[in-house]
Amino acid sequence: MTDESAASAWFRGVDPGETAAAREAIEHGHADEPADWPAIAVDAGFADDEDDYYRRLHDATVAATHEAVREREQADDQQLKHATRAIEDIDRTANELAERVAEWAGALFDDVRTGIPGAREVAERDPETAAERRAVSLAQRVADLDDEAEALRTFIERTAPVVAPNLSEMAGPVLAARLIALAGGLEDLAKMPSGTVQVLGAEDALFAHLSGRAPSPKHGVIYTHDYVHNTRPEDRGSAARALAGKLTIAARIDHYAGDLRPSVHEELDERMETIRARGEA
């Protein structure tokens, strides 16, 4: 044991009862070489014995992990992920409840339309009986859910260009957020190969293909992009590959640099012009 080892110990200057300070030391401290840290900790008065040292080390590392998870969950790309998944949950729930409203209200009122627009109309009716009050109340919940989904879309449209400027410029804020959500975060998306980005959202079709029950999917959620769904069916595979390649580059620029790169978008436009020109030849 040397004075240098003691000086580089992660617990140097840390009060044994200060978990936050211990967590900070674990996150940012370093040592040039291994040492008998339990013995050093005992000699320094940080721990009573080896078991006590490992207990304090465990508490510090758990606290450090919790803080890292908290910081990641508070990152703006994670907020986009949560907002996008919330919209998906709301849309599914609102549409299911709208079907129930149409069936229930249709038995109570005349001229009840289906879907969320129909539920909004029911929500505006003046109920007279207990059953009508409940049906109208349920319709109001559908309208509230639909309003919340719209508010979340506004949040995404405002936040995505700040979090991922190139991805949002290329895909549009809503599709950019969906890609980030499907990947698990902007960093995860940036690390994906373009072939994986191309089929994000088509996992069921991909699994069916891998089990020999279906052809390989050409695209996932990027199908909603104008450059894919408005391209001739025979050229959509090429369009999807070109778009996925540039989306991958855009995600990497956003994660590692964060500045808007017009040249990337110009390259995609030129590539798509070439692909679409095939049908005009």
Give domain limits for the chain: 11-74, 76-163, 164-281
Q: What is the pLDDT of residue 205?
A: 66
Residue 263: pLDDT over 90: yes
Q: What is the pLDDT of residues 16-60, one digit of tens each?
A: 777 777 777 777 767 677 778 888 878 878 888 888 888 888 888
pLDDT band at 209 (very low <50, low <70, confident <90, very high): low
φ, ψ at 50 (rounded to 5°): -65, -45
Angstrom CA distances, 237 to 183, 233, 244, stand at 21, 8, 10
Q: What is the pLDDT of residue 4?
A: 52
Whole-number average pLDDT of the chain = 87
CATH of 164-281, one of 1.10.246.90, 1.10.357.10, 3.30.505.10, 3.30.2320.50: 1.10.246.90
CB 37 within 8 Å of CB 67: no
pLDDT band at 62 (very low <50, low <70, confident <90, very high): confident
Q: What is the pLDDT of residue 244?
A: 95
Is pLDDT larger for residue 226 or for residue 1?
A: 226
Q: What is the pLDDT of residues 114-128, one digit of tens each?
A: 999 999 999 999 999
Q: What is the pLDDT of residues 65-99, one digit of tens each?
A: 766 655 554 468 999 999 999 999 999 999 999 99
Q: What is the pLDDT of residue 8?
A: 64
